[in-house]
Structures are given as structure tokens and as C-alpha cells.
Amino acid sequence: MSKVRFSSILKLTVLSTVLAFTSNVSADPVKAAFVYIGPTGDHGWTYAHDEGVKYAKEKLGDDVIMTTIENVAENSDSERVITSLARKNDIVFTTSFGYMNPTVKVAKRYPDVKFEHATGYMLEDNVSVYSARFYEGRHVIGKIAGRMTESNVVGYIASFPIPEVIRGINSAFLAAKSVNPDVQIKVVWVYSWYDPGKEADAANALIAQGADVLMQHTDSTAAMTVAEENGVYAFGQASNMREWGPNAQLTGIINDWGPYYADRIAAVRDGTWSSSDTFAGVQQGMVKFAPMNNNMPTEVKNEAMQAIIDLSMGKIHPFTGPINKQDGSPWLAEGETPPNFPDLLTMDFYVEGIDSQYPN
């Protein structure tokens, strides 16, 4: 880093320290801000975060003042938005991967403001990272899918090939295969997080190709409505999508950020906040499930419930060896489970048995 920049950062640091100090003297409520990638009405990713914010607000009441800003693109604009928020808040949550570098940059300039970045990996003294083990949820719905499919084809609507999405595909496939050795998974990439029309086109294509159970890693409710129209099954994504598929939705993976948000904001209030790396799953309650649909056979329901219980007690791991990679090379030995880093967090391969070609 050049000298010029360093000195300017130093100046700002001093300035913001003074500001932060003066604002912390009185027992003011904690000011918390949230940056959203999409609209709160997407009923997927952003919606789930917003529900978490509402929960935290309810829990902490007058102790917190919430600010949310939606539709912040993951480009250089986000750094300005995060900076604006850092100037007025005690803690800033940036809820999408693409905010990682801007968050870290701003955090360096505002060392007394706490930052929480979702789904990233850059930890700093005043930057926490948090993410959920959604692949645990995929494990449960994978088991259900394996049992419920009659055509033995499970369709998977995927957004972008990033580790989180790949983990979900692998986990769902392994779980489905464990209960149904003949199951196949067809993956279609739509290269969008939110395009209801294209998601619906993909759902239709998968159904036409024989899929009778759909999974999605995109944000809209479109695929659920297509499943309902066509009398096939699907799973809610990020939130309960029952309303769009009363018959189709077998269950859904719910991202429950509420308790985490309440805890972290309370920690700022109590002066106990410190930088942390959270990768929580079913056990910690960050991954939850929508009610099981009554149209499922009891055995399937029970098996799924058992998987949830096992996950919540930490008894099982969705990735337990022996597992080979798609090309046949060994990944995990008998009984082995992968570490978070690098295996889980950088996952860029399909496991053996998946027919689709890995996108690259």
C-alpha cells in the first residue's frame, strides 16, 4: 500500500475513533444496519434476512434501531452504501457474498464499528463472518426426494456455480442416493438468482425430462408454482413457500437468521461483541424446516424427522466417507468427514455418481 493512502486512512481512523467514542458515551440504543442484495419481497434470500431483522427488533425492542437498505448491487456502489451506514451505525450486516471486499475495506477505515459479513471468508478484528450449513438442509430434502421420486429423476435448478450451491447439490444427491440407489440428479444452471420466468422455464424443462421432484437454489417462488401446476413435488427455498405450492411443497429449508442477529446486536449493546466465524446449521437452529406436508407417507416423514434429529444432535454429517469425486478419485475415506476449510468452503467438484457435467 502506498504511503499516501496509508496516511489518509490513518487520518480517517482517528476521526472516526473520536466520533465513535463520543457516540458511545450515552446509553443510546444500538444502531444496527443491514445491506440487502435483493428486494425484501423476493420471498427467498433477502426476505429471510428481513424476517431475521424483524425477529431481532421484536426481541430487543427499544435497545436497537434498525436500518435496512435493499437492492444494493454487488459492485463499487456497495462500498459507498456500507460507508454511509458505518458512519451512522454501531454494527453493519452485509448479507451477500459480493460485499466481502467492500466490507473489509470499509471496516479498516471504521475500526470502532462492528461488521458482520454473510457467506464470506475474510475475518478481521471488527469483521465477523457468518453463514449457515444449508447443505444440512439439503441432506434432509435429499432423503425425502430419494423416497418420493417415482421416475428416479430429481431436477435441480441452480443459480451460479459457487461452493455453497455445489455443496447443496452434492449433499442432496448423496442423501437421495443413500435411500434410492437408482436416483439421478439433473442440474440446470440459470445464471441468475432471481428471474421468475427463467426459473419457471427451467422447472418446465426438468419436468419434461422426467423429473418429478424439484429442488432449487434460486430465490423466487416460480419453480414451486410450476411444480404445483404440474403435480410434481418441490421444496421451499430460504422461506416457507407453502402458499405457492400447497400440494407441491413437501417441506422447505428455512434460513433462520433471527436469533443470530439478536445475539450479535445484544453483544454490541453489552460490550461483549468480538469478531467470530460462525458456520451454523440445524444444531444451532440457523437451518430450519417448513412443516412436513401431510401428503407424504408416514415412513418418509419419520425418516426425514430422524435425519433432522440426528443433525441437530450432531450425530451425522451429510458428507461422511467413503465418497469419491465425480472423476473417481477418492475424496473422503471410510468414516471421514470433511473440514470446513478447504473442503467445504471451496468445494468445486461433483461427487461420484452425478451424471451432469461440472460447469466451468
Site for other proteins in 317-346 (CB under 8 A): 342, 345-346
Q: Of 138-146, 223-231, 294-302, 304-312, which part binds other proteins (CB under 8 A)?
A: 223-231
Q: Cβ contacts of residue 52 below 8 Å, gap of 6+?
A: 255, 256, 257, 258, 260, 261
Residues 359, 183: contact at Cβ < 8 Å? no
70 binds other proteins (CB under 8 A): yes
98 binds other proteins (CB under 8 A): yes
- Say how far apart CA 260 and CA 130 lie, in whole Å: 9
What is the smallest separation between the CB atom of 14 and other proteins, expressed in angstroms? 12
101 binds other proteins (CB under 8 A): yes
42 binds other proteins (CB under 8 A): yes
Q: Which is nearer to other proteins, 54 or 283 (CB)?
A: 54
CB neighbour burial string for 316-350, b if at least 16 within 10 angstroms, e if fewer: ebbbeeebebbeeeebbeeebebeeeebbbebebb
73 binds other proteins (CB under 8 A): yes
Q: Which is nearer to other proteins, 93 or 301 (CB)?
A: 93
35: DSSP letter: E
Q: How many residues bind other proteins (CB under 8 A)?
A: 83
353 binds other proteins (CB under 8 A): no
Binder of other proteins out of 192, 278, 324, 337 (CB under 8 A): 192
Residues 59, 66: contact at Cβ < 8 Å? no
Q: Which is nearer to other proteins, 2 or 329 (CB)?
A: 2
204 binds other proteins (CB under 8 A): yes
- Say how far apart CA 275 and CA 113 lie, in whole Å: 11
Q: Which is nearer to other proteins, 227 or 304 (CB)?
A: 227
* The C-alpha cell that represents 55 in the structure block: 425477529
* The C-alpha cell that represents 78 in the structure block: 456497495
Q: Which is nearer to other proteins, 9 or 266 (CB)?
A: 9
Q: Of 130-138, 225-233, 247-255, 326-334, which part binds other proteins (CB under 8 A)?
A: 225-233
20 binds other proteins (CB under 8 A): no
71 binds other proteins (CB under 8 A): yes
Q: Cβ contacts of residue 293 below 8 Å, gap of 6+?
A: 247, 249, 250, 251
Binder of other proteins out of 28, 77, 125, 277 (CB under 8 A): 77
Angle at 125 between CA 121 and CA 128, to 5 degrees: 40
Q: Cβ contacts of residue 256 below 8 Å, gap of 6+?
A: 48, 52, 285, 286, 287, 288
